Amino acid sequence: MRPVILDVDTGLDDACALLLAARHPELDLKAVTCVGGNVGLDQVVVNTLTVLDAAGRPDVPVGRGAALPLLQPVRTAPHVHGADGLGDLDWPRSVRTPDARHAVELLRDALLEGARTGELVTLIPLAPMTNIALLLRTYPEAAAGLREIVFMGGAAGIGNATASAEFNIWTDPEAAAITLAAAGELGIPLTMYGLDVFYDVVIALDEAKALGGSQSAELARRLIEKRSELYKSDGASIGDGGAVCAVIDPEGLTTQAFPVRVELSGSWSRGRTVVDTRDWSGDLTIDPFGAAPPVVQVATAVDGRRYADLWLATVR
């Protein structure tokens, strides 16, 4: 089993990812940490506990993390996830409370334990990376317990929050820039599961309607139905769930190694992930900035049907 930790701002597609991570037999879900993003932090925590309860995983510790980005107000997305982040499904809410530790301390403890035992953890941020930036700058020694970071965020092409920027990076671009820089300094392998593949793992509405029986399958069905309704389509992407699929089955994802920077100051491009696809083996000495220190495995294509089948087989 592969130890994993998810960092989430639980909306509809984070819920798809949580169900997969909590139920798949090859993943050992060590913890889930929460950050403000799709909805406010209080609602993120409730949503996360609720999804884990539905998945039959009340054993997984949940950490309450940063409520706000490092330098700007949080920007929520009720138009995408509903007012409560779970599509206003009226699903029974968890009455459990989160772990007493702050999310950053929970992450630190889990990673140091992984370093001690040799069970290195794959960290899967599916949200603004505020918690991750705080972790790597406050407790850099915790990187010894990391196998890799596979994050949902960014885009080599167009954005969705703006023409340039993807929502998770745009919400806290400073945190993303710090995370990438720290990962480069600490030697942490990075994979970017961005918008270039995000929409390509689709569950058809009739496939979703066939789900049911267990609580997790019933919630999975309703998540896809709600996303289909919101997008007025006959199916819906599992979104963040694809990043978890990539950890379970990396052969379904095509990546290329590129230097990546996060734009912090552009009027129209703040939050853009600048994916440098140039051939650095040639003469690029004219570039005064040089290549970005973190070289990231950037997802360029995904076998959508393969990952859709993986998700369906697990949640049902």
Question: Could you tell me if 281 and 176 are in contact, meaning their C-beta atoms sit under 8 angstroms apart?
Answer: no
Print burial letters for 230-260: b (CB count within 10 Å at least 16), e (below 16): eeeeebbbbbbbbbbbbbbeeebbebeebbb
Answer yes or no: is pLDDT of 189 > 80. yes
pLDDT of residue 316: 87
Q: Is the pLDDT of residue 119 over 80?
A: yes
What dotted CATH number matches 2-315?
A: 3.90.245.10
What is the model's pLDDT at position 184?
A: 96
Q: What is the DSSP string of 84-96?
A: TSSTT--PPPP--
Look-up of token digits 């942490």: 188
Q: How confident is the model at residue 82 (pLDDT cuts 50, 70, 90)?
A: confident
Confidence of residue 159 (pLDDT cuts 50, 70, 90): very high
pLDDT for 279 beyond 90: no
Answer whether residue 292 shows pLDDT above 90. no
Residues with Cβ within 8 Å of residue 109, at least 6 apart in sequence: 101
Write down the H helix ranges in 55-172.
Answer: 78-81, 103-117, 130-138, 167-171
Residue 280, pLDDT > 80, answer: no
At 216 the pLDDT is 93
The pLDDT value recorded for residue 231 is 84
Q: How confident is the model at residue 212 (pLDDT cuts 50, 70, 90)?
A: confident
pLDDT band at 290 (very low <50, low <70, confident <90, very high): confident
Phi, psi of 213 (to 5 degrees): 110, -70
Q: Which residues have C-beta within 8 Å of that of residue 284, sequence separation ≥ 6? A: 278, 291
pLDDT surpasses 80 at 284: no
pLDDT at residue 281, as a whole number? 73
- pLDDT score, position 310: 98
pLDDT band of 190, cuts 50, 70, 90: very high
pTM across the whole model: 0.96
Which pLDDT tens digit goes with each residue over 6-37? 999 999 999 999 999 999 999 999 999 999 99
Q: What is the pLDDT of residues 92-113, one digit of tens each?
A: 999 999 999 999 999 999 999 9
Nearest residue to 150 via CA among 37, 297, 300: 297
Give the tokens for residue 234: 């006959």
Where in the chain are the domains? 2-315
Q: What is the pLDDT of residue 282?
A: 73
Give tens-digit pLDDT for 232-257: 899 999 999 999 999 999 999 999 99
- Percent of the chain whose pLDDT exceeds 90: 85
Residue written as tokens 């990075």? 190
Q: What's the mean pLDDT in 159-179? A: 97
What average pLDDT does the structure give for the chain?
Answer: 95
